[in-house]
Structure 1
């Protein structure tokens, strides 16, 4: 019996020591090797796209590495259409900087765009959208002659996405967009823009399922998280929000035939200096009706920015139903906070202040 035991130990030992060498063979593509200059002036778009092409050409897990420094990028489109790789990690130790002229991106829709990719992970790094000049244009003349602006980082029709430890500053418009995606995890992020910056939503999710947003701080001039049509199975946890408009579902009901929103959970969120906490909003179009039902507000406490701390203003044709208030305690300075209900039905459990109007 001694010989078989000895053979078994030798096999296990050989396997253990061979594993690190296999990991070290995974290719890494440094953008500097493709011509990127981290000087904050040179256009590095071509170098980044070349590194992406090299990583896509292999089927082995690959890393695109961005060393410390400032890298100016124009509109960059990372497509998965011909990409063989479903395990690309982009590790960023530097800062990606938008062009100083906002017109270079303003009408493109997005700055860094990933479409039809699978298994892409982004770790660390900073995106500097340089949006201040465009905001000034929009705020000074109602935006009539200004471009709409670009989303800093957009994922379209993609799956199994991870964004961890990313900082996004001063985006022209949305900071991060998740559209038509499945299974995306966005974690440990810092998203920041001034409170008066227009349309700078932190994260916008639509037509997507299985999206998780965790352990992040978002402060912008618009929604910290906005949720559009077709979003489902969305989990938001341990989020610090402010300044901004809070977390919003909507606006919904713009199109006559529009996918709904379902199974959204917000857990352990803190709102500081925001216009709203959590809200659902629809377009005021009499031809469309949006039915809101089975929404639970549980363990919510703090101070309200307005005396009406709880407001359910629902459609007469499609009244809200199944609303539950459970342990809600909101105050308004030294005045009593109030609740307002129109066409809304539901129940209240535990201590609810202001007194429920359901």
Structure 2
């Protein structure tokens, strides 16, 4: 709670550009430095209050995005000023070797011969894939519009875009996992499936468009339809091949809603809403099984050159969902113990009376 309360000072720092307390603290500690260096440089000479305040700076920055004006108060690498990602996360190899990791946007944007250029310096010469990554970075930022106004910082965890201690506290205690689709963690499905679906709902899987932003050169067309460039929205919703799977699952679940969704999160919230607990669980599990099979099929075609027909994938979805729906923790534990027992019998393992699968057993070597 104390960290969340201290976060309010950060918000005041960014919102109130010319307040007296900010000017005093700035000139007392870092009179000859830029404001970004004030936040990230050596803090040995700071007071106890400022030392504790700056322990939270990374959590605060990842909870905000910036609408760029002149770029004076926007960190080029560490602020979200282009999309929902920072340039440091999209191009980590470049960020590691940059000469000014905490530079503001305006510091790296120079005017020469009546034209604006990006003056981004690195500790060593760029070679190999780093050159392509740098070109991708420049291509990503070249169309950014700059206007003569102050940068505006927006708080991501409130709909009105204004900081609140409550929302920052919730973010700090669960690392940002508080999400509209958090019910997925309560489902009785494998953990790897939960993680994959969670990443898909947050558009964080390494689809081809994301890999391209990270500087990886590859064929962009979707491997399922070979017609459109692959992205989260296309791969899981708009692809012709995938659309037929969605319609089949929609018929199976007897959902009458028209399938015109813009994102997986919207599909989840619309399809899984309402009904009794048992019906909702069935829809949730089928949803997860569908996404898991789509992702598996995409990877099989991309890396193993193996293809399945839509009917085969539908059968696979139904098998997975049926197994997961009839699978509780106690059921899985019982099956695991049964498999261990059969394995021990095959190897000639003798267990002491009353022993469980977790206790030490005596192994007799068979000739």
TM-score range, shorter chain: under 0.3
Q: TM-score, normalised by structure 1?
A: 0.23
More strand by share: 1
Between structure 1 and structure 2, the one with the greater Rg is 2
Q: TM-score, normalised by structure 2?
A: 0.23
